[in-house]
Structure 1
Amino acid sequence: VKEMIEYIQDTAQKAGLKREIPVHVLIETHGALAEVEQIAQLPWLQVLDFGLMDFISGHFGAIPLACMKSPGQFEHELLRRAKANMVAAALAHGIVPAHNVTLDLKNYDQTLADARRARYEFGFMRMWSIYPTQIDAIVEAMKPDHSEVEKGVAVLVAAQDANWGPIQHEGELHDRATYRGFWTLVQRARVTGLEVGAEAEKRWFANH
């Protein structure tokens, strides 16, 4: 991977390009998983993609082929470990972790369920689609929960009014750690088309 990125950088320089070329790396082998921490630190890398099917076939029967679909893809211990390790490495270095596709092409509900498990159990921030009907299901699953967004806005408003010191909101303590988490949530909500409310728009997004 390092050699390929260096080749891309060299080619871009020779072509007179002044910008980075976004690089996706597919993690689908034992070797790639073993080196995922080092791979995630490489320049120009933006996304780590998990390649489920090749990863399973590379185990030569140790992982049942049924695990290419749910529920096995989320429950077999070797797959859970692989996905968790890849996501942890990606997030630690500011890289987007992307989940593998759902093989059931036209089943909206299955794609939705898979995307939700990928997002909320493992921390994947994106998921690949290979059929048009999968796109809406993935976007829906990756959206923040609206009630959490409302709570996040309320906490951030109170925190800003308190000059970002610790506050109590509905009996819970909040400080800069939770403010950072809620701010990320509110930003994600806006990007995915959720309403964040007039107060949030006025305070934080009026000049955007």
Structure 2
Amino acid sequence: MTQATHPAEALFKGDKPFPVLSACEHFAGSEKLILKAMDLQKELGAIFDITCDCEDGAAAGNERPHAELVARLINSERNAFNKAGVRIHDPTHPSWKQDVDVVVGQAAARLAYVTIPKSTSTSQVEEVIAHVQRTARAAGSDRAIPIHVLIETHGALEAAFRLAALPHVEVLDFGQMDFVSGHHGAIPAAAMRSPAQFDHALLVRAKSQMVAAALSHGVVPAHNVCLNLKDDQVVHADAFRARTQFGFLRMWSIHPAQIRPIVDAMKPSFDEVQDAGEILCAAQDAQWGPIQYKGELHDRATYRYFWSVLERAQATGIELPPKPAARFFAA
């Protein structure tokens, strides 16, 4: 091992790479809203992904034209960062294969991911994943399409660990509204928003179980939406609690005004980024052996943590200190 060995190589050689994704996933269903989101990406930078919604975005009977619209927009110049994915219809809906055939078939080269909603079993998701990858190969794509799986049914929660272990899965999303509705009134409507969404025992269990399943298999856990569309403080508080109390690394947005508060809440602190940069540069100088920093011992175990801090900082748009930026993130 040489002094210049990169952290990703020195610390994770042979491991499954953990996905480094934007901290916010913004949902948009109509042409107007998708284009508005793409323009906002150009303004703010690639700090959020866009999920083009074929499930709730398409009116009944208009499924194919809507899927064709999504494919065109993903292939368009407005998709400047290739950070737009699609949510297809659920595996029991007659249009899910058509969604895949159209969007993946026409936009596989630029499609960021496919989100699968309302699954109730591992076998359902396996079938969809297989069709997505076959369609991508038939379209001439040489890349596997990343898969996001919504955990919003009893069956999906029970299967969360198995779902996270499936090939090509990079995100588990918690679908709180459908999950609450599926409890037939046992969870009150108040638990669709804070503070009950973080306090009700059944939701604490569900969120904790899903996050544990995701992280144990190198998959990113994503938190549900905040129903308050425009109050920055409420949105920020929900995202911050999801991140710090439950370990979510990503959160949905359903209004452009929610994007910045979510990203800000998911960012590591300035002091932690500074420490991470200093520790990792010193570790690289020591050829990744143990070091002392501010009177504390650090080795590969803590190096892994601090490398994740720098990766999250970059993904959320934090300006990194010059030395670690040059060493670890230079183009």
TM > 0.5: yes
- Please identify, of 63-72 and 36-45, the stretch whose mean Cα deviation from structure 2 is larger: 36-45
The alpha-carbon distance between structure 1 residues 15 and 178, as it changes in their structure 2 partners (threshold 3 A), is: same
Corresponding residue number in structure 2 for 1:71: 195
Shift of 1:201: 2.4
Corresponding residue number in structure 2 for 1:194: 318
Corresponding residue number in structure 2 for 1:131: 255
Corresponding residue number in structure 2 for 1:204: 328
Please tell me the residue identity of whatever aligns with 1:127. Answer: M
Corresponding residue number in structure 2 for 1:21: 145
2:288 corresponds, among 157, 161, 164, to: 164
> SS of 1:173's equivalent?
strand
Corresponding residue number in structure 1 for 2:166: 42
Shift of 1:81: 1.1
Q: In the TM superposition, what whole-angstrom CA distance separates every residue of 1:116-151 from its partner, at most 9, and x where no partner exists?
A: 111111111111110110001111111111110111
Q: Distance in 1 between matches of 2:203 and 2:315?
A: 30
Q: Distance in 1 between matches of 2:296 and 2:139?
A: 56
Shift of 1:22: 2.5
> SS of 1:61's equivalent?
coil
Q: In the TM superposition, what whole-angstrom CA distance separates every residue of 1:153-186 from its partner, at most 9, and x where no partner exists?
A: 1222222232222122212221111111111111
Corresponding residue number in structure 2 for 1:179: 303
Question: What are structure 2's unaligned runs of at least 5 residues?
Answer: 1-124
Please tell me the residue identity of whatever aligns with 2:126. Answer: K
Shift of 1:190: 2.0
Calculate the TM-score normalised by the size of structure 2.
0.60
1:1-20 correspondence to structure 2 within 5 Å = 1-20=125-144
What is the RMSD computed on CA atoms of the aligned residues? 1.5
Please tell me the residue identity of whatever aligns with 2:129. Answer: I
Shift of 1:191: 2.5
Question: What are structure 1's unaligned runs of at least 5 residues?
Answer: none
Q: In the TM superposition, what whole-angstrom CA distance separates every residue of 1:61-111 from its partner, at most 9, and x where no partner exists?
A: 221110100011111111111111111111222222111000011111110
Q: Distance in 1 between matches of 2:290 and 2:131?
A: 49
2:220 corresponds, among 77, 90, 96, to: 96
> SS of 1:21's equivalent?
coil
> SS of 2:302's equivalent?
helix
The alpha-carbon distance between structure 1 residues 106 and 13, as it changes in their structure 2 partners (threshold 3 A), is: same
Structure number with higher helix proportion = 1
Q: Distance in 2 between matches of 1:112 and 1:69?
A: 13
Shift of 1:196: 1.9
Q: In the TM superposition, what whole-angstrom CA distance separates every residue of 1:21-64 from its partner, at most 9, and x where no partner exists?
A: 22221111111100011111112222211010111111112211
Please tell me the residue identity of whatever aligns with 2:144. Answer: E
The alpha-carbon distance between structure 1 residues 46 and 205, as it changes in their structure 2 partners (threshold 3 A), is: closer
Corresponding residue number in structure 2 for 1:115: 239
Question: Equivalent pairs: percent with the same residue?
Answer: 60
Does residue 275 of structure 2 align to residue 142 of structure 1? no
Corresponding residue number in structure 1 for 2:69: none
Calculate the TM-score normalised by the size of structure 1.
0.93
> SS of 2:253's equivalent?
coil
Corresponding residue number in structure 1 for 2:181: 57
